[in-house]
Amino acid sequence: MKGVSFVTNDKNEKIAVQIDLKTLGKHQEEIEDVLDTIIAESRRDDVDIDWSAAKKELKKAGKL
């Protein structure tokens, strides 16, 4: 596909994807949707914490 390149290691295994956003500019929203899905999937097994606990941790760290 024009604008999409695979990066391979020395064993010719695909290890990364490069997306030329200029070439695929008209599809930028769809690309962002795919990336959002990948990020969400990678966080599927993360531990959930309730908002009050998260807020307490952020305050303790001085970030809120």
- So what's the pLDDT on residue 28? 82
pTM assigned to the model: 0.53
SS3 annotation, the chain: CCCEEEEECCCCCEEEEEECCCCCHHHHHHHHHHHHHHHHHHCCCCCCCCHHHHHHHHHHCCCC
- So what's the pLDDT on residue 5? 93
Q: pLDDT means per 10 residues in the chain (64 residues)? A: 90 93 82 92 94 94 93
- So what's the pLDDT on residue 51? 95
Contact criterion met (CB below 8 Å) for 54 and 43: no
- So what's the pLDDT on residue 13? 97
CA separation for the pair 42, 30 (Å, rounded): 19
